[in-house]
Amino acid sequence: MELRHLHYFVVLAEKLHFSAAAEKLGIAAPTLSVQIKQLEESIGVELFTRTKRSVSLTQAGALFLIEANATLAQAERAREIGRLASRGEVGHLGLGYVSSALWSGILSKLLSQFRKQNLNVTITPREYPMNELPVMVSEGKLDIAFIRSPIRLPDDIKSLHIQQDIFCVALPAAHPLAGREQPVEPFELRNEKFILPEQPHGTVEVARRGGFKVKRSESPGSLVDVLSRVSFNEGVAVVPDVLSNTVFLPEVVYRPLAAPAIPSEINIIYRKWERSPTVLNFIDFTRDLFAS
């Protein structure tokens, strides 16, 4: 029994006339008769009662019709899933991110718009320590990751730039520089204890420009932890400027750093030789969204 047999059966059950059914199917009536006979022989049951003047479903035929319609519908669903999968419009994405990608609004914007156009793709987003993300993508534990550059990447990982911002300094509200309007010069932070975020690039550059070495404390696990410790007056922190508009904590004040600005990038990373249509579709969607 093949799907074509079920299709022929359903059309004949609808028309209850061999010539009319054969015409709809685009085959000869004798051919249809042979196909229906083959179907009945394969299941060992008569599906139609035939007379010279009429064709009607047997009781078994009526029950078989229900199952035949369900089988054909499922087969069509399978074909459609196959077509969607080939275009990357169905599947699963494991996605990791650093907290600054979330606070920047990039992550929510991207996932919201992607999901609207790809209803059959399931995305599982989760925050991870940034230094773990490149290896997790390389090893296939994640498909995509949002990281803040610069960061060393494995040889099999590619990076796609999606946004650039700058660093600022987060100060305890009681700090002498917190109430000042003008930007903070790097050398003014030379005696400070720094709370290092996952991306220390901004802190390192501030120290280089200010001509001092960083006096650091133990690195917390996320930007919220960093800012919490700033609010506890444990030190200062060089963080992405986007936080000044999104994360508000008591006793934390953000101040700009003196020019020239220290840039910071949010990128997505993925495997160079990625073959999954779903992952490739997500990469293309991201590229188009942030190129516009």
Same domain, 283 and 163: yes
Structure tokens at 11: 């059309």
Q: Across-strand partners of 97?
A: 127, 146
Same domain, 229 and 114: yes
Same domain, 78 and 116: no
Q: Across-strand partners of 172?
A: 252
Distance between CA 109 and CA 242 in Å, rounded? 15
106 falls in which pLDDT band (50, 70, 90)?
confident
pLDDT digits (tens, 9 = 90+) for 44-66: 888 888 887 888 888 888 888 88
Record the pTM: 0.68
CB atoms within 10 A of CB 15: 16
Look at residue 85 in the predicted model and tell me its pLDDT: 59
Q: What is the CA radius of gyration of the chain?
A: 32
Same domain, 63 and 130: no
Look at residue 246 in the predicted model and tell me its pLDDT: 86
Structure tokens at 228: 């919490």
Domain boundary among 87, 106, 138: 87
Same domain, 78 and 123: no
Tell me how many degrees the CA angle 250-252-256 measures, rounded to the nearest 5.
Answer: 150
pLDDT digits (tens, 9 = 90+) for 170-196: 999 999 999 888 999 999 999 999 999
Same domain, 165 and 277: yes
- Spatial neighbors of 51 by CB under 8 A, at least 6 apart, are none
Distance between CA 209 and CA 206 in Å, rounded? 5
Beta strands 252-256 and 157-172: pairing type?
antiparallel
Same domain, 278 and 153: yes
E strands in the chain? 48-50, 55-57, 90-97, 120-127, 144-149, 157-172, 193-194, 215-216, 237-240, 252-256, 263-271
Question: In the predicted model, what is the mean pLDDT of the chain?
Answer: 87
CATH of the domain at 256: 3.40.190.290
Does pLDDT of 79 surpass 90?
A: no
CATH of the domain at 63: 1.10.10.10
Of the candidates 172, 241, 238, which has an alpha carbon nearest to the alpha carbon of residue 199?
A: 238
Find out whether 239 and 151 touch, Cβ atoms under 8 Å: no
What DSSP state is assigned to residue 236? Answer: B
89 falls in which pLDDT band (50, 70, 90)?
low
Amino acid type, 202: G
Query: What percent of the chain is modeled with pLDDT above 70?
Result: 93
Average pLDDT of the residues in 247-254: 91
13 falls in which pLDDT band (50, 70, 90)?
confident
Of the candidates 75, 57, 76, which has an alpha carbon nearest to the alpha carbon of residue 11?
A: 57
Same domain, 263 and 195: yes
110 falls in which pLDDT band (50, 70, 90)?
very high
pLDDT digits (tens, 9 = 90+) for 112-156: 999 988 888 889 999 998 889 999 999 999 999 999 988 889 999
Look at residue 222 in the predicted model and tell me its pLDDT: 80
Q: Is 5 or 183 the better-scoring residue by pLDDT? A: 183
Mapping DSSP to helix (H, G, I), strand (E, B) and coil, where does residue 114 land?
A: helix
Tell me how many degrees the CA angle 206-237-222 measures, rounded to the nearest 5.
Answer: 125
Q: Across-strand partners of 123?
A: 93
The residue assigned the tokens 């990751």 is 145
Domain boundary among 68, 87, 106: 87
Owning domain of residue 96: 91-291
